Structure 1
Amino acid sequence: MFHTDGHKLAGTSCDYQFVSTNHTRPQGRFFSPRYPSNYPPDIKCAYTFRARAQEKIRVVLEDIKLEEGDVSCINRADYIKVHDGRTASYPAIGLYCNQASHIEILSTGPELYIEFVSHSVEPGQGFKAKFQFQNEHSSKSTKKIHHHKLDPNLCLM
């Protein structure tokens, strides 16, 4: 039931790649390790999305339950960071911590990179999310992030 639809990268504990091709489904789901149970401490997971040239990536973080802490995401032990490109060196377009639901993210191009980091002593439940490769012309908006509720438990960059 809680199976990540991407390809797990060999030699990693929780890194996944999602690639749009003629032979793959255009949508799927992904989860933090052990979801819905608590994720392990001291992990770093990478979720790399590669669409085709005329596609964008839409991700909906349906439920986030990370280690509780102060309202700010700055210097948090556990977080989810979204980059608009293929690696962590690309611009960050979102930083999420604490608890939130239904955060929608749309890449500006065919690549998206999501980091999930946990350095906490008492990890939370984690997150569940869904993704979709969308034809660039069918995207409703060119904004990077939209349809999110303002919540003091998340930080947007």
Structure 2
Amino acid sequence: MMCSNNTKCCRLCNEQCGGSFTGQMGSFFSPNFPSNYCNRQDCFYNITVEEGSIIMVTFLNVFLEEEADRVKIYDAEIKPEALLYEINVYQADEIEVNSTSNKMIIHFESSRFTTNPGFRVNYKAI
């Protein structure tokens, strides 16, 4: 699938996205970053660090379709009471969120309309 209605997208859209991260620190990106992500992305990023630690994630260079695309950050599991933070803004320079456990799940969903560059994430155990 090619990115649609999008002059900044110069890569083929990848149906697979997300991943599992187990290092004490690391980084990842939304699909195609810094080019635009695709329409209808549904990505899960699972972070697990050493027992007894918590996770600090820092979202950098966030560009989403406001009110349509979402990044939800969960503490350990996906359920309403574990939701730590939701990002659905057009642009933000930096957003920092801490877990209360050694596991975090980040869920990124894009709409079927406009696409944008997405985000870059750094994480570390603290």
TM-score of the pair, normalised by structure 1: 0.65
Residue by residue, what CA displacement relative to the aligned partner does 1:18-52 show, whole Å, maximum 9, x if unpaired?
Answer: 114xxxxx212110000000000001100101112
The Cα RMSD (Å) is 1.5
Unaligned runs of 5+ in 2: 1-14
Superposition pairs of residues 145-156 of structure 1, within 5 angstroms: none
CA distance in 1, matches of 2:18, 2:84: 20
Q: Which residue of structure 2 aligns with residue 30 of structure 1?
A: 28
Q: Which residue of structure 1 aligns with residue 124 of structure 2?
A: 132
Q: Which residue of structure 1 aligns with residue 86 of structure 2?
A: 95
User: What amino acid sits opposite 2:64 in the alignment?
Assistant: L
- Report if the CA contact (8 A) 1:78-1:120 is conserved: no
The answer to whether structure 1 residue 57 and structure 2 residue 55 are counterparts is yes
Q: Which residue of structure 1 aligns with residue 10 of structure 2?
A: none
User: What amino acid sits opposite 1:113 in the alignment?
Assistant: I
User: What amino acid sits opposite 1:117 in the alignment?
Assistant: E
User: What amino acid sits opposite 1:61 in the alignment?
Assistant: F
CA distance in 1, matches of 2:75, 2:101: 8
TM-score of the pair, normalised by structure 2: 0.81
CA distance in 1, matches of 2:55, 2:45: 12
Runs of 4+ in structure 1 off by over 6 angstroms are: none
CA distance in 2, matches of 1:121, 1:104: 27
Unaligned runs of 5+ in 1: 1-11, 21-25, 70-75, 135-157
Identity of aligned residues (%): 29
